[in-house]
Amino acid sequence: DEADAAFVIAEQAKVYPLMSGHNTICVATALVECGLLPADRRERFVLEAPSGPVPIRTELAADGRCASVTFDGPPSFVAVRDEVVQLDPDACRAIGLAAAEVRIDVAYGGMWYAIADAADLGLAIDARDGARLRAAGELVKAAARAQCPVQHPTFDYPGPDIMAFRGPWRRGAVATNTVVMSNGYSGMLDRSPCGSGTCAIMALLHARGELDLGERFVHESVVGSVFTGELVGVTAEGVVPAITGSAWITRYAEVVVDPTDPFPEGFRVGDIW
């Protein structure tokens, strides 16, 4: 079916994900609350991401606001299991990590995630440890790219391009995580539990036999925001996750082009751009 709207995700460090869950939730919320969809398409519609169609279901509040968004993620799967990667030992000592190697899994959920247990490096999913989490995450990503390279079977999309630290978890409890995104120099922590990261982690748990189809999964970020997920199907490529979360509009902006502007399409300076 034809999509109601399409979007492209442009992250820092020249990362263009096939799919981003929290960006999907943001786009869907903005479309609903800004009146950009027909009245009969506000609760059920389809977005087009680079990975393909994304079915959307919304829950509307009494005042018409978008209270929550549920999207079906792309088929998600595990490419690498239980691989130990070697980290830069000097960098590990500099930030006080407990080891210079760590066991990772690599899973796809819209982006390629290197997934590690924070405790294996002496870290906790705690905002007070944010500087070490982001620095360690950059080390793990660099090691994973060099030692565990992966490629999507359908798209030209190599990885890993992002990573997630997980906290201790037991089945049925709330899972904690922080996702370390690249910005080209220091790394940064996602303010959400990460939609595509939740897809990837759910695929990993399913592969381990720790999460069944239809079983509810609650995922909490380092700042306490929460997404809920459920595996709703299986394809030849992987499991199909559904993720629910909420977004809030923080700014309305208008971009204009003056007819007398000599550079209406912008400009490029070779020694800078």
Q: Which residues participate in catalysis according to the annotation?
A: 20
Which residues, other chains included, contact 215 with Cβ-Cβ below 8 Å and sequence gap of 6+?
230, 231
Residue 65's CB is within 10 A of a number of other CB atoms, namely 15
d(CA 119, CA 123): 5
Q: How far is CA 262 from CA 13, 256, 258, 265, 266, in A?
A: 30, 14, 9, 9, 9
Contact 162, 197 (CB under 8 A): yes
Contact 69, 24 (CB under 8 A): yes
Tell me the CB-side half-sphere exposure of residue 122, using CA atoms within 13 A: 10
Instruction: Output the CA–CA distances (angstroms, integers) from residue 70 to 24, 97, 133, 195, 236, in the order listed.
Output: 9, 37, 29, 10, 23
Paired tokens of 216: 């509810």
Which two structure tokens, joined as six digits, stand for 105? 């899994």
Q: Is 228 left (phi over 0), alpha (psi -120 to 50) or beta?
A: beta
Strands (E), 109-153: 112-117, 150-151
Residue 31 parent element (H or E): helix 21-33
Which letter does DSSP use for residue 128 in this model?
Answer: G
